[in-house]
Structure 1
Amino acid sequence: MTSQDGGLPHAVEDRYRLLLDSVTDYAIYMLDPTGIVSSWNAGAERFKGYTADEIVGRHFSAFYTPEDRERGEPERALATAASEGKFEIEAWRIRKDGTRFWASVVIDPIWDKKKRLIGFAKITRDNTERMLAQRALKQSEERFRILVQGVADYAIYMLDAEGHVTNWNLGAQRIKGYGADEIVGHHFSRFYAEEDLANQLPARALETARRTGKFESEGWRIRKDGSRFWASVVIDAIHDEAGALIGFAKITRDMTERREAAEALEKARQALFQAQKMEAIGQLTGGIAHDFNNLLTVMISSLDILRSRLHEPREARLLDNALLAAERGSQLTGQLLAFARRQSLKPQVHDLNQVIETFEAILRRAAGGEAAVKIVLSHEMRTVLIDSAQFEAALLNLVVNARDACGADGSIEISTEVVTFHEAERLLFSTAAAGDYVKVSVTDNGPGMSEDVLSHACEPFFTTKEVGKGTGLGLSQVYGFAGQSDGHLHIVTAPGQGASVSLYLPAKEPVARGDRHEHGAASTVLIVDDDEQVLEAAVEMFDSLGYEVLTASHGPAAIDILRRDRRIDVLFSDVVMPRGMTGFELADAARKLRPELKILLASGYPVPAFEKSGGGRSDTAFISKPYRWSDVLERLRNL
């Protein structure tokens, strides 16, 4: 049975009305084609505040905010629903009491059987709480984004599931050097060092985070400019609500300064331990050497007395051998006392450049004929207070060690410079006070030392040489001399990278270059001879004549000395020498460098050609071997 107008039966219509009236979570009501409210349910009354009597017959625009009414939003909603079959929106609406609520609105057009618009069905739901929750979440996410973006000490960014960068904060830009537009979309493996890429560390890091939820490590990473920094890294896996992996959160911190500070502290601890160990060994060694010296004194005195009373050749030879062995033992104890810093020093103010130049010939001979020896002396020099004989012994020990390390085909460099230790650097040089030092270095290109060998290098009797090729007291003597001179010994070495052993001696007054002759100082002679005994005899002779002496064993070495030392007044050279340069050739080259130089040539052969060609020069003289000091002095006076 139907109603008289052909609609639903009255009973069915009543049930629908009861159903709609019982719905309280949705406002469900009808509008006529012009927007006038024609029905009203309990849900509409509950969250809009109007009773049916108060709202039925009024235009539905009463629910719109003033600004929406001014823009014609109610009319546009009905027009859209009529033309498109539906209108949906979420927006602010007004309750009866004037308060606002966030509404989810659906408007459907109602058509009769003849397709005529007879009105609209309007369903509204109050989503204020959901909207406020979403807004709070959005604000929270925005605050978190701003917080993350503002963090400068940590690189905080996201990766997708394959490891591509999806966002980038200020800390990441500061630490790694890339702007967001330069890195977003690129794979994070570009931050890894070549060795880590070869070991597939980026892939293993993501796999660990994917499998366990987190990956943590420290290691070297690469900045945009190619420099390295020590990074602390945490990678967390990010999953959605269904548990599917959607990417990774990555946090990186630059720990380079902390690592360097820790390494410096560890080096300081090791240096302190080494200094304490060497001090303890030095005290023990000094005591033993002192007591052993007393025993040797008794032995040598007794053997010397016996030797003076014996005349039998066989017994005399035995005593001579015993005396020789005892004297060698005395030399060993002298080296031990040097290590223990108990040797008797006679410190005087010296220019180390001058000491090295005077000692150069002996250093070159100690280095061997084949090893290339380079001497680099600083032009800006300070004096030092040292025992020159002990310094020469220390330098000779370093050159011999360098020669043994690099072999005949190696190279050795002896250099000087003035350096300054600041207070902070005492962490690495715990036995040296802050201040200015003259640094004397002997550097070789040998195999270098391991850390273990380096830690024992200065200990008495420690040696890596074959049995019978060293006592292990060379560096010990240098170490002791440095300490007793208020200085410091420092070794820089690594396997395969050679070694550089440096003596740091406290600097005194600046060396006044070029003033020595103006103040009437003694003249300087450069003696050149390839015969070691003849050279040493010439050194003694000129020294007794009051000259400061420099030496060279061949012409090219003499030319090098003449180029860098302007103090030389006299060149005294043998005529016949190796290395393809005779004394005549050396004299010609020396005149081109130093026209004012006085030259005295000596030879065991008659040289008539010299008398004809060069003998007439007022700055050149010739003397035959053998010569006496009086002959040399006469030639020098004539010059």
Structure 2
Amino acid sequence: MHNHLSRIHDAAERSANLTRQLLAFARKQAMAPMVFDLNASVASMLNMLQRLIGENLTLEWLPTGTPCRVKMDPGQLDQILANLCVNARDAITNVGTITIKTALISLDEVACKAIIDCMPGDYVQLTVSDNGCGMDPETATHIFEPFYTTKALGRGTGLGLSTVYGIVKQNNGFIKLYSEPKIGSAFNIYLPHHVGENAEEILPAVDDIPQSQGETILMVEDDPMLQEMGGLMLRHLGYTILSAATPREAIQLAKENATGIGLFLTDVVMPEMNGRELAEKLIQICPQAKHLFMSGYTANIIVHRGILDEGINFIQKPFSLKDLALKIRTVMDRNEDTVSE
């Protein structure tokens, strides 16, 4: 039974990753950009990336000595590095080296003429290179196309590099590829260098799953299966749950429990009214409550050009129990600190 359940879990994880890749490529994934030092973020991922590529490959990290501040969703950087490192791993037979390095560069109009989609300015250059099999010019011209793959059946979806391309373009950057057969490949990613704001600290991943501190959550989800699963997850975390399938039902539950609700967890796209409209009505009833949106596809209800509106708390479907637990505590605890000040 454990073997069967493990296979089901693996299939669900692959489906979730494929969904995220499709959303990223189509630029329909909601971004929550923040200013951070790309060097520090990459350094925090090195152990995970080493496990991803395997012990037979050497991972070299060559950061520039100057902070490389960018403004983007940190999760998107994770996607870029994971996809590029997996692609590099698959290009290497037996042993080899994958190198990640950063640099700060300025490009003028003359330099931009030689690079497609380049605009003059200051950039953080992130390079992921390998000494694998490389690509011929014909293959290189197709490498960013969705569903194009050179890998054997079952080893790739053809979405990894197109996902990287979509993310970089969404963040006003561009990519330059250099590759030669039997020598290797180098993907050079250029992201706008951000100045004017201090970098925010990206907290390291934690192993513990935070539990409830006695709060009540009103969950609004119109999909019956997801409503049941969401309720099970939240109860497992120790929360008291009020569950509604429609906005109308949610409003009625809010009126009946106005003083006891600590958080609204609502879908974004629903019948009767969308999540944002519902949130406005619920806050009028329970002004003390916090709000967390959840969705796989936001339909531009809480985003503008793919960027999450200011002050919006959001978790992307599909999410794990740990993801949900961490996000709820982040929303609840941060707002409590604000109130206490």
Structure 2 residue corresponding to 1:385, chosen from 46, 56, 71: 71
Following the alignment from structure 2 to structure 1, what is the Cα–Cα distance between the partners of residues 12 and 202?
41
Conserved? CA contact 1:383–1:510, under 8 Å: no
Gaps of 5+ in 1: 1-312, 526-535, 545-639
Measured after TM superposition, the shift of residue 511 of structure 1 is 9.5
Following the alignment from structure 2 to structure 1, what is the Cα–Cα distance between the partners of residues 147 and 203?
40
> Which residue does the alignment assign to 1:349?
35
Conserved? CA contact 1:341–1:481, under 8 Å: yes
Following the alignment from structure 2 to structure 1, what is the Cα–Cα distance between the partners of residues 202 and 119?
37
Q: What letter is aligned with 1:465? A: K
Distance 1:445 1:487, change over 3 A: same
Following the alignment from structure 1 to structure 2, what is the Cα–Cα distance between the partners of residues 357 and 510?
23
5 Å-filtered alignment, 1:214-233, equals: none
C-alpha deviations, 1:618-639, integer Å up to 9, x for none?
xxxxxxxxxxxxxxxxxxxxxx
Distance 1:415 1:523, change over 3 A: closer
1:452 aligns with 2:138: yes
> Which residue does the alignment assign to 1:277?
none
SS at match of 1:431: coil
SS at match of 1:508: coil
1:408 aligns with 2:66: no
Q: What letter is aligned with 2:30? A: S
> Which residue does the alignment assign to 1:442?
128
SS at match of 1:359: helix
1:469 aligns with 2:169: no
Measured after TM superposition, the shift of residue 330 of structure 1 is 5.2
1:481 aligns with 2:148: no
Following the alignment from structure 1 to structure 2, what is the Cα–Cα distance between the partners of residues 470 and 507?
32
5 Å-filtered alignment, 1:113-512, equals: 328-329=14-15, 331-509=17-195
Conserved? CA contact 2:35–2:197, under 8 Å: no
Distance 1:467 1:350, change over 3 A: same
Following the alignment from structure 1 to structure 2, what is the Cα–Cα distance between the partners of residues 510 and 417?
19
Distance 1:426 1:361, change over 3 A: same
Distance 1:379 1:335, change over 3 A: same
Distance 1:425 1:368, change over 3 A: same
Measured after TM superposition, the shift of residue 405 of structure 1 is 0.7
Q: What letter is aligned with 2:124? A: V
Following the alignment from structure 2 to structure 1, what is the Cα–Cα distance between the partners of residues 59 and 208?
27
> Which residue does the alignment assign to 2:331?
none
Measured after TM superposition, the shift of residue 340 of structure 1 is 2.5
Measured after TM superposition, the shift of residue 455 of structure 1 is 0.5
SS at match of 2:193: strand
Aligned length: 208
Distance 1:376 1:449, change over 3 A: same
Measured after TM superposition, the shift of residue 364 of structure 1 is 1.1
SS at match of 1:458: coil
> Which residue does the alignment assign to 1:628?
none
SS at match of 1:395: helix
Following the alignment from structure 1 to structure 2, what is the Cα–Cα distance between the partners of residues 438 and 369?
29
C-alpha deviations, 1:156-175, integer Å up to 9, x for none?
xxxxxxxxxxxxxxxxxxxx
SS at match of 1:392: helix
Measured after TM superposition, the shift of residue 396 of structure 1 is 0.8
User: More relative contact order in 1 or in 2 (CA 8 Å, sep 6+)?
Assistant: 2
Q: What letter is aligned with 1:352? A: L
Conserved? CA contact 1:368–1:408, under 8 Å: no
SS at match of 1:343: coil
SS at match of 2:111: helix
- Larger radius of gyration, structure 1 or 2? 1
C-alpha deviations, 1:436-482, integer Å up to 9, x for none?
11011111001111011000001111111111111111101100000
Measured after TM superposition, the shift of residue 360 of structure 1 is 1.2
Measured after TM superposition, the shift of residue 334 of structure 1 is 2.6
Measured after TM superposition, the shift of residue 507 of structure 1 is 0.2
Distance 1:369 1:425, change over 3 A: same
Distance 1:543 1:405, change over 3 A: farther
Measured after TM superposition, the shift of residue 422 of structure 1 is 1.0
Q: What letter is aligned with 1:498? A: G
Measured after TM superposition, the shift of residue 522 of structure 1 is 8.0
5 Å-filtered alignment, 1:38-187, equals: none
Measured after TM superposition, the shift of residue 495 of structure 1 is 1.4
Following the alignment from structure 2 to structure 1, what is the Cα–Cα distance between the partners of residues 43 and 197?
15
Q: What letter is aligned with 1:497? A: I
Following the alignment from structure 1 to structure 2, what is the Cα–Cα distance between the partners of residues 498 and 354?
27
Following the alignment from structure 2 to structure 1, what is the Cα–Cα distance between the partners of residues 122 and 72?
15
Conserved? CA contact 1:407–1:446, under 8 Å: yes
Structure with the bigger percentage of helix: 1
Distance 1:510 1:494, change over 3 A: farther
SS at match of 1:493: strand
SS at match of 1:509: coil
Q: What letter is aligned with 1:473? A: L
Measured after TM superposition, the shift of residue 508 of structure 1 is 1.0
Measured after TM superposition, the shift of residue 428 of structure 1 is 2.5
5 Å-filtered alignment, 1:7-22, equals: none
Distance 1:350 1:522, change over 3 A: closer
Measured after TM superposition, the shift of residue 424 of structure 1 is 1.8
Distance 1:421 1:404, change over 3 A: same
Q: What letter is aligned with 2:63? A: L
Distance 1:542 1:360, change over 3 A: farther
Following the alignment from structure 1 to structure 2, what is the Cα–Cα distance between the partners of residues 472 and 346?
26
Cα RMSD (Å) = 3.3
Distance 1:524 1:479, change over 3 A: closer
Measured after TM superposition, the shift of residue 342 of structure 1 is 2.6
SS at match of 1:478: helix
5 Å-filtered alignment, 1:618-629, equals: none
Measured after TM superposition, the shift of residue 430 of structure 1 is 2.9
